[in-house]
Amino acid sequence: MTTDDLGRYEVKTDKPIWGDYKGYQLASMPPPSSGGVFMLQILKKILDHFNLSQYDPKSFEKYQLLAETMHLSYADRAAYAGDPEFVDVPLKGLLDDDYISKKSFSHSIRSNEQKPEEGDPWAYEDEKKNPSPIVPQPEDKTIGETTHFTVADQWGNVVSFTTTIEQLFGTGILVPEYGFFLNNELTDFDARPGGANEVQPNKRPLSSMTPTIIFKDNEPVMTVGSPGGTTIIASVSQTILNLLEYDMELQDAVEEPRIYTNSPTSYRYEVGVPLDVRTKLNDMVTVLAVHLLI
* Amino acid 292: pLDDT: 43
Give the closest residue to 82 by CA, choosing from 229, 194, 213. Answer: 194
pLDDT at 109: 52
How far is 92 from 228, CA to CA, in rounded Å? Answer: 27
Catalytic residue among 69, 146, 162, 230: 146
Please tell me the predicted confidence (pLDDT) of residue 289: 45
Q: Give CA–CA dist 202/210, Å, rounded.
A: 22
pLDDT at position 113: 54
Q: Which residues of the chain have pLDDT under 70?
A: 104-114, 128, 138-145, 285-294
Q: What is the pLDDT of residues 91-143, one digit of tens each?
A: 999 999 999 988 766 655 555 556 778 899 999 998 767 788 788 776 656 66
pLDDT number for residue 277:
93
> Do 208 and 229 touch, CB atoms closer than 8 A?
yes
Domain residue extents for the chain: 18-284
Q: pTM (2 decimals)? A: 0.90
Q: How many CB atoms lie within 10 A of CB 251?
A: 8
**Active site annotation includes 146:** yes
Provide the pLDDT for residue 288: 42
Sign of CA dihedral 95, 97, 103, 105: positive
Q: Domain 18-284: give its CATH superfamily.
A: Gamma-glutamyltranspeptidase, small (S) subunit (3.60.20.40)
